[in-house]
Amino acid sequence: MKPHEEEGVPALAILNALPHPIFVVDADNTILNANQAAESFFGASSAVMHRDGLDRLVPFGSPLFPLLDQVRARGAAIAEYRVDMSSPRIGSDKLVDIYATPVSMTDACVSVLLLPRSVTEKIDRQLTYRGAARTVTGLAAMLAHEIKNPLSGIRGAAQLLEASASPEDRPLTRLICDETDRIAGLVDRMETFTDARPIEREPVNIHRVLERVKTLATSGFARGIRITEEYDPSLPPVLANRDQLLQVFINLVKNAAEALAGQKDSEITFRTAYRPGIRLSVPGTQSRVSLPLEFTVMDNGPGVPDDVLPHLFDPFVTSKANGTGLGLALVAKIIGDHGGIIECESQPRRTLFRILMPTLEQTSDELDLKEDGTS
């Protein structure tokens, strides 16, 4: 009997219709079942995969093997991001996200789903906020030197003219002053990206931060919008700068509130969870950092435009008529400085910003994801 015949034709047809590799292994890592996408990924038929086993298909020392052991030991699903499964046998550029789930609680079989990622996707997801920070840092340094000084001169000249201007001309001099102030304020915001001082961190209860954000929001920019909480009460503290986290969540909630403007059933949801299976690779090394703390801000607004979503954390990208496009770039920089990542999923009636961060117990070396690949 072929490895997959036990599942029956309908189940196999469904699996073969899926575009992503899926296979099932037993306690010995023998491949019991695999769909056509898995055959294509490994460059082998189901029968050959069953004969050779996972050990001969996957590189020695691959994170997949300890991941399978953890799934069996915990009896729970685990996800691991950016695993390089490249080998001479199956080819290069085999970068995947792995989702492993126990098939049942009575045996050691595990179902594995692979989500292949291109090199560009791999770099973008982890380094988007670093690229944004670098870009804005360079622009801020240039603008501070080349623009702020001339702006001061322009404003001073406008004030002198205003003193002797006719009543009809004074609105024009006032306009010059107001616009120079606005530009100077924009440069000041950009200069935030150039602050390279070490972050002062302490154990932070994220729920107290979110309660503070809720209080500020409901009494101000989110007045009239329902804010709900879905918290994990056992969540450990995060090693972070409390004021910076407040800045992050105020920005996210303010964006959500602006997206919900005029909508009758407006709702924003705060959610926290502990996801022990989520780990992230450090660029240029074999190190992997656990990011088990998940903080989510979700709204039921119209969603982010499809053409904006891939570049949402880039500087100067915004869908607002009067937006500067620096808010989310700064949010991403702050989260990146804390050793975490931020993601956005959006569709009509469900826009979700997900922040993944390390716990307090992790070492400072793990938290410092440097661009040169050391940790």
Instruction: Read off the DSSP letter of residue 84.
Output: E
3-state secondary structure of 196: coil
User: Would you state the pLDDT for residue 284?
Assistant: 47
User: Would you state the pLDDT for residue 75?
Assistant: 85
CATH 3.30.565.10, domain 202-367, yes or no = yes
Q: If pLDDT is split at 50, 70 and 90, which confidence band does 374 have?
A: very low
Give the residue with greater pLDDT, 126 vs 138.
138
For range 274-280, the mean pLDDT: 69
User: Would you state the pLDDT for residue 283?
Assistant: 47
CATH code reported for the domain at 5-117: 3.30.450.20
Q: What is the DSSP string of 22-77?
A: EEEE-TT--EEEE-HHHHHHHTS-HHHHHHH-HHHHS-TT-THHHHHHHHHHHTS-
pLDDT digits (tens, 9 = 90+) for 71-109: 898 888 888 887 888 777 777 667 788 889 988 766 789
Lowest-pLDDT choice from 5-14, 16-25, 194-203, 321-330: 5-14
Residue 336 pLDDT more than 70? yes
Measured CA to CA, the distance from residue 164 to residue 173 in angstroms comes to 10
Q: If pLDDT is split at 50, 70 and 90, which confidence band does 11 have?
A: low
Other CB atoms within 10 Å distance of the CB of residue 336: 20
